[in-house]
Amino acid sequence: MENMTKVPVHVSMIMDGNGRWAKERGKERVHGHFEGVESVRACVEAALETGVKYLSVFAFSEENWNRPEEEVLALMGLMVKAMAAEMKSLDRNGVRFIVLGNRSRLSRELNAEIDSCMEMTAGNEALTLIVFLSYSGKWDILQAAKKMALDLLEHPEKRNAVEKMGVEGFESYLVTAGIPDPDLIVRTSGESRISNYMLWQGAYSEFLFVDTLWPDFRKEEFRKALESYAKRDRRYGKVK
């Protein structure tokens, strides 16, 4: 991208405002979710064009299971459809597709679709698209701690290694192991909160809160977000 001096490696989106977008148009909430898929496609294209290597999107939180059953079912159905519809084109464009979250809560049908998409695109390198599904930051840290505890129970000889473990060692238990922390987290729809997203991984992320509702967040908004990021001064606690 022209004038783009600092391109973030990993951009993450808290995709919010689908329901309000639909309501503004006198439509059911699900129409907003439907239109939101178009925004994901636009952001994938923009990421490929600008050289962003990881694009992640928060699609469904652990807390979102508490929504009315009808909306949850509509969202899950939409995920299956969107994955089936988009995968060939993602693959053609060199996109590796990954889903992270509490997959034990997802339906067999959705899990099968996810497996097939992940297998199909596993070797792609242009961009990694991560969909966070049934994910929450506290859940991630908790499942990591449990995995570590169980690992230690099974292999007591690891005690010394666990005692000496640093941040990176613990990160290998998080579902995001191997994925760089997000450089930029964008939240749409005017809400200024993190809603239990990437609590660990976002420790030093730059945040951008925009009023745009997710279904209206397209290429131009993506590019603007990157421009805002390029102006940030990341100090990591040091003096510059």
Partner interacting with residue 50 (select from ligand IPE, Mg ion, none; CB below 5-8 Å by kind): none
CA atoms of 32 and 26, how far apart (whole Å): 11
3 is catalytic: no
Looking up tokens 């499942």 gives 143
β-pairing, 10-14 with 184-187? Answer: parallel
CA atoms of 140 and 101, how far apart (whole Å): 8
Burial class (CB in 10 A: 0-12, 13-18, 19+), 71: middle
β-pairing, 95-100 with 206-209? Answer: unpaired
* Per-residue mark of binding to ligand IPE, 70-99 (x: CB under 6 A): -----x------------------------
Q: Which of 3, 16, 151, 196 is catalytic?
A: 16
Nearer to ligand IPE, 31 or 232 (CB): 31
- Nearest distance, CB of residue 13 and ligand IPE, angstroms: 8
| Contact between 189 and ligand IPE per CB under 6 A | yes
- Nearest distance, CB of residue 23 and ligand IPE, angstroms: 7
| β-bridge mates for residue 131, sequence order | 57, 99
CA atoms of 47 and 135, how far apart (whole Å): 23
| Non-local CB neighbours of 218 within 8 Å, separated by 6+ positions | 38, 39, 42, 43
| Contact between 59 and ligand IPE per CB under 6 A | yes
| Contact between 16 and Mg ion per CB under 5 A | yes
| β-bridge mates for residue 57, sequence order | 13, 131
Residues between 13 and 42 that touch ligand IPE (CB under 6 A): 14-20
Total of residues contacting ligand IPE (CB under 6 A): 18
Total of residues contacting Mg ion (CB under 5 A): 1
Nearer to Mg ion, 37 or 117 (CB): 37
Task: List phi, psi (to 5°) of 133.
Answer: -130, 125
CA atoms of 30 and 8, how far apart (whole Å): 31
64 is catalytic: yes
Q: Which stretch binds ligand IPE (CB under 6 A): 58-66, 107-115, 143-151, 156-164?
A: 58-66
Looking up tokens 């941040």 gives 167
- Nearest distance, CB of residue 189 and ligand IPE, angstroms: 6
Nearer to Mg ion, 98 or 185 (CB): 185
Nearer to Mg ion, 64 or 111 (CB): 64
**DSSP code of residue 9:** S
Contacting positions for ligand IPE (CB under 6 A): 14-20, 58-61, 64, 75, 189, 191, 193, 195, 214
Residues belonging to the active site:
16, 64
Contacting positions for Mg ion (CB under 5 A): 16
